[in-house]
Structure 1
Amino acid sequence: MPNKTATFARKSGVSLPSFETVLAAIGATIVIAILVTAIFAPWIAPYGENASVGGAYEPWSAQHVFGTDAIGRDILSRLIYGGRNTIGLAVAATCLAFLIGSALGTSAAVLGGWVDAVLGRFNDLMMAIPQLIFALLILTVVGSSALTLIIVIGVLESTRVFRLARSLSVSIVDQDFVEVAKLRGESLGWIVFREVVPVSFPNLLAEFGLRLGFVILFVSSLSFLGLGLQPPTADWGALVRENASLIAFGDITPLLPAGAIALMTVAINLVVDWYLAKIRRGSAL
């Protein structure tokens, strides 16, 4: 028996959205909701980020929806502010990674020769080092300020962006419009950012979404290990660590920030998968 919804759609001329489009819409809604909550945290959170407003480990109640932590801070408020700090740091680090990686990767493809060889070998060397171990080593030595985290994570993630940017640019630099720009005597910066990057932008944008999801996990992992944002700053990874002992008593509070990390990452991936499908069909930006 034919599907009634599909039959109605054919008769009425209505085009139903594909399954991947529906998933992308759900993912985008989740991402937007989390971002809005994070941006307006001071107005949405019921209490301050570090305010002690009750006793230690108070149970879930109308006053404290998700209870309180070891020093009486409201978990819901910490969760909201933690999203603001985690996502803000991840976005900054990802932007830095793309600024470095796309500039160097595209420049390597445009210049070629020994410049391409040196940058390529150095990038391979950096990628051979386990990211988490390298970050732990650097942060143990220099400390874990927000700026340090952004720089360290941005530099480490830029190696992945470099590889993609160079791969995309190699096929672009042989195009006629790039050769014309070279004959006009345009500078390297002009050729990179005005000729090559705009063509590779759709794929770089998709990679930005994927990298952002990985960086959120990276930031949270460092915080869980105690080398991310330092107390009393709220952070999703740190919230898991601070309340991990409650699992032994059947309290699921540590799963809340862990769930927020997973939800944000999955939602981003749903949107990116939809966008990549559009790129394959040739209908992306």
Structure 2
Amino acid sequence: MTATRTGPLTPRTRSRRRTVLPTLPALLLVLLAVAGPWLAPHAIDAPVTAPYAEAGDGALLGGDQLGRDVLTRLLAGGRDLITTSLVVTALITATAAVLGTVAALRPGVGRVVDRAADVLMLLPPVLGILLIALSWPAGGRLALIVAAYALGVPYAVRVAAAAAAPVVASGYIEAAAAGGERLWYLVVRDVLPNLRATLLALFGLRFVAAVYVVATAGFLQVGPQPPAADWALMIRENAGGILLNPWAVLAPSIAIGLLAMSVNLAAATLVPDSGRKAVTVL
């Protein structure tokens, strides 16, 4: 019987492992949250135990303030939070990439963007959520997306503009502009491809901020309303019984923290090695 010899890992294999392994937690958590409603052992609004019952055979994480299964509501409560946060993050990153690049290419536009960002950054996040979500007709998730988007764009535009400025000042961009290339061609074809590392890091950071804003809105009950299953709403609803069944509060809190950290880690891992120095300013 001949033993199989395993040679040393190639640089490509090591690089692949360094990329895949840190992204697995985020991928698994997102998949679990998406599939959670189908994996839940009980109906999300059906009482199965006494209020704030301790963890046991009938309910692995115990019951909430109405005796509903905490595990069921935990599995069902992450999909909308993740979906909303991803939509908000994608919109913010795309807007910041375009506005930041245009601001770097056109100094006059850049001054207007800077002043608008200064004004919007003066608005406290909680106050901004309340103003936008409560004044929006019918409220709901669309109002929450608009609020999170409005609060996140000013910071992201500043980062994107700062990253685009050295690229715009390079010789080949100046030559392309002098050659009569249109603004949108310069933005899409010449500048944005050189900002991939910064935009990936920005995506991770803005996702964490979006989770914070969406969770804050849920805690303030200006987003999802009872009896919806939502991680932030679970924390608010069960805060009064944390000493009776801590899992009713700890489980969604841990889930929100793990979601933010794992997605941020995954985005940072996807930043190419050649661009890591460029994102240290973040």
Question: TM-score normalised by the shorter chain: which range applies?
Answer: 0.7 to 0.9
Tell me what 1:203 maps to.
Answer: 198
Offset of residue 266 of structure 1: 2.5
- Provide closer, same or farther for how the CA distance between residues 258 and 26 of structure 1 changes in structure 2, counting only shifts above 3 A: farther
Is the Cα–Cα contact under 8 Å of residues 197 and 272 in structure 2 kept in the other structure? no
Q: Which residue of 2 aligns with 1:7?
A: none
Match among 111, 116, 120 for residue 126 of structure 1: 120
| Counterpart contact for 1:38–1:81, Cα < 8 Å | yes
AA partner of residue 125 (structure 2): Q
Deviations 1:214-272 (A, max 9, x none): 21122112211222222232221111011111113353321110111112222234345
Q: Determine the structure 1 residue equivalent to 2:246.
A: 251
2:45 aligned partner = 51
The 5 Å alignment of 1:1-285 reads 27-48=22-43, 50-57=44-51, 58-112=53-107, 114-142=108-136, 144-249=139-244, 251-274=246-269, 278=273, 279-280=275-276
Q: Classify 1:92/1:166 alpha carbon distance in 2 versus 1 (closer, same or farther; 3 Å).
A: same
Shift of the alpha carbon at 1:56?
4.1
Shift of 1:146: 0.7
- 1:112-142: per-residue Cα shift (whole Å, max 9, x none)? 2x22211111111111222222222222222
Matches of 1:27 and 1:14 in 2, distance apart?
18
Question: 2:3 matched to which residue of 1?
Answer: none
1:274 is displaced (CA, Å) by: 4.5
Q: Give me the TM-score of the superposition, normalised by structure 2.
A: 0.83
Alpha-carbon separation, structure 1, partners of 2:144 and 2:39: 27
Root-mean-square deviation (CA), in Å? 2.7
Give the Cα–Cα distance (whole angstroms) in 1 for the partners of residues 89 and 268 of structure 2.
Answer: 19
The aligned amino acid for 2:31 is V
Closer, same or farther: CA 26–264 of 1 in aligned 2, 3 Å: farther
